[in-house]
Amino acid sequence: MRLATTGTAAALLLASMAPAMAQSPPPLPPTRTMGAVDWSGFYIGANVGGAWGSETLTPSVPGATPIGNINIRGPFGGGTAGFNWQLSNGWLLGLEGDIDGAGIGGGRSCTNPAYNCRISNSWDGTVRGRVGWAPGSGNLLWFATGGAAFGDIRASIAQIGALPAGFGGAANGSSTNVGWTVGGGAEYMFAPQWSVKIEYRHTDLGSMSFHAAPTGPGRQRSALTTTRCSPA
């Protein structure tokens, strides 16, 4: 939902001009182009979508066999807010942020088949810039977006059944990382102050290190691709 802030300013301006209006009629305001849509101002909304990608677990012990890629996927949802500056000829600059809870994860057998390796992400957020273009200053906006991303990445290694003597039972690691995100999409204003958008983004939250017996120190790298729908 977009927050209109021009009504109060217009009312104050009208009141301040009242004495002058008694003497002579004011000039007519500029005529707005027919069909032009005003995208400027603050907005808030909600978003929901899905993510997919792959993450890697790599033992840091020299000569150890890499575990390889782990495919991950899952839903997410949360809130979004931002501000738009509409320029001439349908161009737009904006700043936007979002925060989401997520149920993204996946797993596979570790190098040692007695263990199962799992990776997950339970929340993430972004702060991004936007550059958009609305052809003919209309109600369809095409945009590109990019900026900083942050969120948690988690890794767990759990035993499967009985283990040989000397092997540990389980290990867990987690970290809150800062990375980057880039993407684009389209937004449609279907009523005054109301719009809906669809967006496609790639997010990279970097990597983290953790200790996991019996494989020794490990390193995880996280990268996600997301598609989301957001009414605002």
Q: Which two tokens stand for residue 22?
A: 């008694």
Distance CA 8, CA 22 (A): 22
How far does Cα 46 stand from its chain's mean position?
A: 11
> pTM surpassing 0.85?
no
Both tokens of 47, joined, read 């978003």
For residue 215, what pLDDT is reported?
47
The mean pLDDT values, 10 residues at a time, for the chain of 232 residues are: 39 34 46 66 94 75 66 93 93 97 88 78 96 94 97 80 50 84 96 93 83 51 63 66
Distance between CA atoms of 139 and 123, rounded to whole angstroms? 32
CATH ID of 42-231, from 3.10.450, 2.60.40, 2.60.120, 2.40.160: 2.40.160
Reported as a single tens digit per residue, the pLDDT across 83-101 is 999 998 899 999 999 999 9
Distance CA 158, CA 114 (A): 9
Contacts of 80 (CB under 8 A, 6+ apart): 44, 45, 46, 47, 96, 97, 98, 230, 232
Q: What is the pLDDT of residue 60?
A: 59
- Domain ranges in the chain are 42-231
CA 119 → CA 104, 150, 163, 203, 209, distances in Å? Answer: 9, 17, 22, 16, 13
